[in-house]
Structure 1
Amino acid sequence: MEDCFDGSSDDDYYDRVYDDDDGEGEGEDFDGLQEAEDETEISMSCDKAPSCKVIRKETLLAAQKEELQRVMDLLSLKEHHARTLLIHYRWNVYEVFTVFAERGKEWLYSAAGLSVRSSKDINSSAALNTVTCEICFEEVCANESTIMDCGHCFCNNCWTEHFIVKINEGQSRRISCMAHKCYAICDEENIRNLVSARDPYLAEKFDRFLLESYIEDNPRVKWCPSIPHCGNAISVDDEYCEVECACGVQFCFSCSSEAHSPCSCPMWKLWTKKCHDESETVNWITVNTKSCPRCYKPVEKNGGCNLVSCICGQPFCWLCGSATGLNHTWDSIEGHSCGRFKEDEVEKTERAKKLLWRYSHYHNQFKGHTDSLKLEAKLKDKLQEKIIILEARDLKLRDFSWLTNGFNRLFRSRRILSHSYPFAYYMFGGELFKIEMIEKEREIKQNLFEDQQQQLGFNIEQLSMVLEEPFDDYSEEELLARRMKIMALSGVVDNLCKRLYECIENDLLAPLQHETINIAPYRSMGVEKASELA
C-alpha cells in the first residue's frame, strides 16, 4: 500500500495541496483538496486483512456443511465419516488433504479412528440371526444388536448405556468403540438412533455437541466474548488478528480478550494481571512502605520503634532503610549507625525503588492514554452536532467526512499508543527476553522505539486538539484550513503507526524468533468488521 503522506512537515503538505499553477483562485484549491482526500480514502481502504465472517446460530450448520462437503467430495465419504475426520484434524481441511497426499487414505483413516465398512461386510453381518453380546454375554436377535464400522457388534442395550455415559461426560464428539483396545470412532447415525429411542433430549444434546464442535474444536473459529453472550461466532483465516463482531464487540482473536495490539497476547496477559494486583496499591506502597534490604519486598511500619523486621527475618532501620542486627538497646541498634552514609546500602535500596518506579512510569502512561481514549469517545457525539450545524449553513464545502475520518484516526491511534506501553514494559524490562538481548542492544532498541512513541504521541495530541476546536463557528476560509490540517495530521499519524508496527515486527520481535510472541498486524482502517456468512 502506498502512503499518502511521507512524514514531511505540515507546511510541505499544505503547499502540495494548494499548489495553484494556473492561479484560478479558491475554486481550484477546493477541488485539489477534495482530490487529495479521495486519494487518502482509497489508500486507507487498500489494507490487506484476513477474511472474517460472523457465524450465527442459523448459519452454523451451513458453515460446517461447506467444510464437510469438500472432504466428502475428495474422499467419497459419507457426511458422518467426513465429520469424524475433520473433528480429529480440528476442522483443518488443508491438513486432511495434506495427510492424504503424503501418507495415503489408510493412514489418514487410522490416525482419526475412522473405519469404513464395505458393502460386502455389511451384507455378511446382516445374514446372522442371533448375536452373543461380549459385554453382557446375552444372546440377542441380530436386529437387537448393532455392528459398528470397526466390525465389533454388541447388543443395543449395552451400546445405548455406553453412549449415554459418554454424552453426559461431554465426550460425545468422539465416542470410541466398547471393544478392548479398539479406538475406532462409533458411527454417529447409530449413536443418534439408539440414544433417541431411550432419551430424545439427550439425542438433541448429542447433535448440538456435534454442531458446536465446528467452533469448539476449530482454531480458526471462536465464540464472540461479549457479555451477555450475543450467540455469534467469528471465523477468520489468520489467528493473529483483531476482529469486530456484528454485535459491536472488538476483540483479539488469538486470546479472546479486548483488542490490545501492538501488545502481544502473553504480554497483555501478564500486564492485566500485574495491573489488577498492583496498580491500585502502587501509590500506597510508595508512600507507606520501604523495601527490605535483603529480599526487596515492601515492608509497612506498624509501631513507633524505628527497628522493623521483614517477613524474611531481616531487621533494618526504618529511617534510612539499612540492614541492622536484632539487638536493640535504649541508645543503639546492633551493627547500625543511622548518621553514616553508605554507598552500597543506597544501591541495594535503589534497586527496589527502580523496579517500582519503572512499573509506575509505564502504568501511568498506559492509564493516561486509556483515560484520554474514554474522554475522546464522547467527542464523536459533539462532532456530529457540529456537522449538523455546518450542513445547515450555506457553504461551498458540503462533505464533512473528513471530520469523522479524523476522529476515527484519533481513536485508533490513541488505543495503539496506550497499548504500546505494556509492550515496552516487557520488551525492554529483561523479564521475558533477558537472554536474547544484551544490555547495550536493549538500550539502543529502546531508544529507537521510544523516539517513535514520542513522535506518535505528539501528533496524536495535535490531532486531538484540532478536533476539539469550535470550528462550527469558523468562516469558510478558516474551515478549509482546519480541514486540510486534520487531513494532514491524520495522514502523519497513520504513517507513524505503520512505522511503529514495522519497528516492533522487524527490529524487535523478528530477531528473537519467539513463536509465542506475535502481534496482530496494523490496519489503517482499524479492527476488521466481520461480514455475514451467506
Structure 2
Amino acid sequence: MSSDGEDYYYEDDYDEGSMDQDSPVSEGMSEPDIVYDVMSPTADEPAPKKPYDVSYKVRTLQEIINMQSKEVRKIQTLLEMPASTATILLRHYQWNSEKLQEQFWNDPAAALLSAGLSPPVSPSTRTGPLPPSPSLLISPRRPTRSSHNPALSPVKRSRAPQPSGPFECPVCCMEFAKEDVVKETFALGCRHRFCRGCWAEYLTGKIRSEGESSRIQCMESGCERIVREEIIDELVPAGVSKRYHNLLNMAFVADAPNLRWCPHPDCEYIIECTQAPPRMLNQLVPTVECNCGRQLCFGCGYLSSHRPVLCKIVRLWERKCADDSETANWLQANTKECSKCQSTIEKNGGCNHMTCKKCKYEFCWVCMGPWSEHGTSWYQCNRFDEKSGVNARDAQAKSRASLERYLHYFNRWANHEHSAKLDAEFYKNTEKKMEQMQNSGNLSWIEVQFAKQAVETVIKARITLKWSYCMAFYLKRNNMTELFEDNQRDLERAVENLGFALEQNIEPDSIAQLRQDITNQTAYVQKRHEILMDDTLKGYLERRWDFSVDI
C-alpha cells in the first residue's frame, strides 16, 4: 500500500517469543469449493411462492465460517494488509466491507486507530531497518488447536523492545529475571507488559464471565488496543479458546442483517434471508422454516409463526398482556360455570362446543352463548360489539369499556392458544385412534392418515386464529375490518366443526362415513385458512389495513 510515494507496513501487536504467528480466522476455514457472499443472496434460492413470502436459505456453521473467510480474503487483497488486521477491521465495521473501504481510503490511520489497531508507520518516521517485502515473508499455513477459521497467509511483524533489566508485573507484582522476560511475560504493540499468568486470567474472565469476543482490549486501564485472535489462542486453555471462537461466530451472525440463528433449543442452523430488511416489516411477516422442522419469524425472531400479525403489533400485544398480567392470569383459568345450572365445568379438549353433564345444556366455551346459534348465519362469536362503548360518558365508563374490549380479544386469543395445546396433546393419541380405525374398519394404514392430517390442520388453523384476534384488537373499524372478521368467523366455525368431529367416539359401522366427513371438513378448513391468510397478508402490501397504532 502506498500514499504520497511512501510505502507503509503494519507494526506488530505482540513481542518476540510470544506465540506462533498464525492467522486469526478459525480452523476449518480451508479453501471451500463454494464460497458465499455475506451481503448478497445466492443463486440457488427458490422463488417466493406468494407475493408476501420471502426467499431464504438455511445455513450450517461451516458455511458461516466460509462467509467470514471470503470477506477477510477480499479485504486482505484490496487493502494489502495481514489477515488478522483485515479481520479486526471487518468486525469493527460490522462486516460492512463497503463502509470499511470508504473509511480506510479516506484516512487509513484513523480507521486503524478506531478499530483498536496500530496506525501504519512510514519509513520516514520509523527507526531501524525496514521489514522485508511482505511477499517474501508469507509463511506456510499451520493448523491450530481450536475449531475456528484457519490462518490466511500470516505476515511476519516487527518486534516490541524488551526490558533492559528485571521486570515486575504491574498486576501480581511478581518479578522476572532479564533472561525470563521473553518467556514469561507478554506485551502488545502498545508496550503494556504483563506476565502470562495475568494475561491468561484476564482473557479467560472476559470470555467466560463477560462473553466478550471481538472487542477484548489491552489490560492497561484506558488502552483501547485490541487483542488479536492468535494471541488469545496462545494464552488461554483450549476450552476457553473454543468458546471464544463460538462467540465470534455468534457476533458475526448478530452483526449481519440478513442472518439469524434459529432460536429453538439445540438447533445450530442459521437462516439467511435478504428480503426482510427492517424497513419492510410493516408490509411483510417473514415466516421461515428451519431444517430442524420448526418455523420462526425472521423479522423478530419469534419462536413460531405469528402470521398474519406484523412484528410490531406482536410486540405491542405482548407488552399489553404483560401489563395486564393479573387479568390475563384470571382469563387463563381452565374452568367456567354453566350459564344455566352454574355447575363448574372443566375444558378437557380443543373443541369449544361444550355440553354440561348435569343439565345437558350446550353452549360455546368462548362467549358462553347457546351453541345452537353457532351453526347459523347469526354466528357472531368472533366480533366485539362496539355499541357497548358508545354511551360511555365519563372516564370510569370509558375505562371499563376499554377493558371490556381488551378482554373480548384477549379471551379469544388465549382460548385458541390453550385449545391448540390441548389439540397437540390429542395429536399424541391420534396414532392409537388410527390403529383402532384400521382394525375396526378393515382399512390400510395409508387410508387412516386422514385423522393425523386433520389434527395437524386444526392446530395450524388455531395458531392463525389466535394471532388474528391480536390483529383485530388493533384494527380500526371500517369495511376492511368487517371483511377480515367475516373470514375469521368462517375459519373459526370450520375449525370448531372439524375439532368436534375428531373428538367423536369411533363406531365400526360409521368409520367410512366418518372418514369421508373428516376428509371433507379438513379440506374446507385448509381452504378457509388459505383465504384468511392470503387476503390479510396481501392487504399489507396493498396498504388496506388501518391500525389504531403507528406501524
TM-score between the two structures when normalised by the length of structure 1? 0.56
Once the 2 structures are TM-superposed, how far is the Cα of residue 408 of structure 1 from its aligned partner? Answer: 1.8
1:236 aligned counterpart, secondary structure: strand
- Within 5 A, what are the aligned runs for 1:334-349? 347-349=394-396
Cα distance, 1:111–1:127 mapped onto 2, change above 3 Å: closer
Deviates more, 1:353-362 or 1:107-116: 107-116
1:454 aligned counterpart, secondary structure: helix
Partner amino acid for 2:74? L
Asked if residue 459 in structure 1 is aligned to residue 494 in structure 2, the reply is: yes
Partner amino acid for 1:153? R
Cα distance, 1:225–1:89 mapped onto 2, change above 3 Å: farther
Once the 2 structures are TM-superposed, how far is the Cα of residue 364 of structure 1 from its aligned partner? Answer: 1.5
Distance in structure 2 (CA, Å) of the matches to 1:135 and 1:163: 13
Distance in structure 2 (CA, Å) of the matches to 1:471 and 1:259: 37
1:120 corresponds, among 131, 142, 145, to 131
Which residue is equivalent to 1:84? 88
Cα distance, 1:345–1:156 mapped onto 2, change above 3 Å: closer
Partner amino acid for 2:326? D
- Within 5 A, what are the aligned runs for 1:494-505? 494-504=530-540
Once the 2 structures are TM-superposed, how far is the Cα of residue 361 of structure 1 from its aligned partner? Answer: 0.7
Which residue is equivalent to 2:226? 185
Partner amino acid for 1:113? G
1:415 corresponds, among 463, 468, 472, to 463
Distance in structure 2 (CA, Å) of the matches to 1:376 and 1:207: 43
1:215 corresponds, among 239, 247, 250, to 250
Which residue is equivalent to 1:143? 182
Which residue is equivalent to 1:168? 205
1:153 aligned counterpart, secondary structure: coil
Larger fraction in helix: 1
Cα distance, 1:85–1:242 mapped onto 2, change above 3 Å: farther
CA offset digits 1:39-67 (Å, max 9, x no partner): xxxx9999955546486xxxx5x355323
CA offset digits 1:437-465 (Å, max 9, x no partner): xxxx6544433432332232223223334
Asked if residue 446 in structure 1 is aligned to residue 494 in structure 2, the reply is: no
Distance in structure 1 (CA, Å) of the matches to 2:168 and 2:190: 10
Once the 2 structures are TM-superposed, how far is the Cα of residue 406 of structure 1 from its aligned partner? Answer: 3.0
Distance in structure 2 (CA, Å) of the matches to 1:124 and 1:214: 27
Once the 2 structures are TM-superposed, how far is the Cα of residue 389 of structure 1 from its aligned partner? Answer: 4.1
Contact 2:213 2:244 in 1 (8 A): yes
Q: Which has the higher contact order (CA 8 A, sep 6+)?
A: 1
Partner amino acid for 1:500? T
Distance in structure 2 (CA, Å) of the matches to 1:266 and 1:112: 35
1:356 corresponds, among 397, 403, 412, to 403
1:452 aligned counterpart, secondary structure: helix
1:153 corresponds, among 166, 188, 191, to 191
Once the 2 structures are TM-superposed, how far is the Cα of residue 414 of structure 1 from its aligned partner? Answer: 0.7
Cα distance, 1:208–1:383 mapped onto 2, change above 3 Å: closer
Distance in structure 2 (CA, Å) of the matches to 1:475 and 1:379: 19
2:482 aligned counterpart, secondary structure: helix
Once the 2 structures are TM-superposed, how far is the Cα of residue 243 of structure 1 from its aligned partner? Answer: 6.0
Which residue is equivalent to 1:67? 67
**Structure 2 portions without partners, runs of 5+:** 1-47, 122-129, 133-154, 277-284, 334-389
Cα distance, 1:402–1:452 mapped onto 2, change above 3 Å: same
2:214 aligned counterpart, secondary structure: coil
- Within 5 A, what are the aligned runs for 1:266-285? 266-280=315-329
Which residue is equivalent to 2:308? 262
Distance in structure 2 (CA, Å) of the matches to 1:172 and 1:127: 25
Cα distance, 1:417–1:192 mapped onto 2, change above 3 Å: same
CA offset digits 1:251-275 (Å, max 9, x no partner): 5552555654434342243144135
Distance in structure 2 (CA, Å) of the matches to 1:472 and 1:108: 79
Once the 2 structures are TM-superposed, how far is the Cα of residue 74 of structure 1 from its aligned partner? Answer: 1.4
- Within 5 A, what are the aligned runs for 1:468-487? 468-469=503-504, 470=506, 473-474=509-510, 476=512, 479-480=515-516, 482-487=518-523
Once the 2 structures are TM-superposed, how far is the Cα of residue 72 of structure 1 from its aligned partner? Answer: 3.0
Which residue is equivalent to 2:423? 376
1:498 aligned counterpart, secondary structure: helix
Distance in structure 2 (CA, Å) of the matches to 1:353 and 1:186: 60
Once the 2 structures are TM-superposed, how far is the Cα of residue 356 of structure 1 from its aligned partner? Answer: 1.8
Cα distance, 1:185–1:483 mapped onto 2, change above 3 Å: same
Distance in structure 2 (CA, Å) of the matches to 1:123 and 1:131: 24
2:272 corresponds, among 237, 244, 255, to 237
1:474 aligned counterpart, secondary structure: helix
Residue identity (%): 19
Once the 2 structures are TM-superposed, how far is the Cα of residue 225 of structure 1 from its aligned partner? Answer: 5.3
Contact 2:288 2:295 in 1 (8 A): yes
Distance in structure 2 (CA, Å) of the matches to 1:45 and 1:408: 22
Distance in structure 2 (CA, Å) of the matches to 1:473 and 1:89: 71
Distance in structure 2 (CA, Å) of the matches to 1:357 and 1:510: 22
Which residue is equivalent to 1:320? none
Partner amino acid for 1:446? T
Distance in structure 1 (CA, Å) of the matches to 2:288 and 2:93: 25
What is the aligned residue count? 380
Cα distance, 1:102–1:51 mapped onto 2, change above 3 Å: same
CA offset digits 1:100-139 (Å, max 9, x no partner): 5655564765654355979828878449665699996999
Cα distance, 1:51–1:499 mapped onto 2, change above 3 Å: same
Contact 2:450 2:515 in 1 (8 A): no
2:99 aligned counterpart, secondary structure: helix
Distance in structure 1 (CA, Å) of the matches to 2:524 and 2:391: 53
**Structure 1 portions without partners, runs of 5+:** 1-42, 285-342, 429-440, 518-534
Distance in structure 2 (CA, Å) of the matches to 1:75 and 1:258: 38
Distance in structure 1 (CA, Å) of the matches to 2:501 and 2:332: 34
Contact 2:215 2:226 in 1 (8 A): yes
- Within 5 A, what are the aligned runs for 1:277-426? 277-280=326-329, 347-392=394-439, 393-394=441-442, 398-425=446-473
Distance in structure 1 (CA, Å) of the matches to 2:216 and 2:288: 34
Deviates more, 1:406-415 or 1:489-498: 489-498
Distance in structure 2 (CA, Å) of the matches to 1:181 and 1:175: 13
Distance in structure 2 (CA, Å) of the matches to 1:465 and 1:279: 27
Distance in structure 1 (CA, Å) of the matches to 2:293 and 2:433: 25
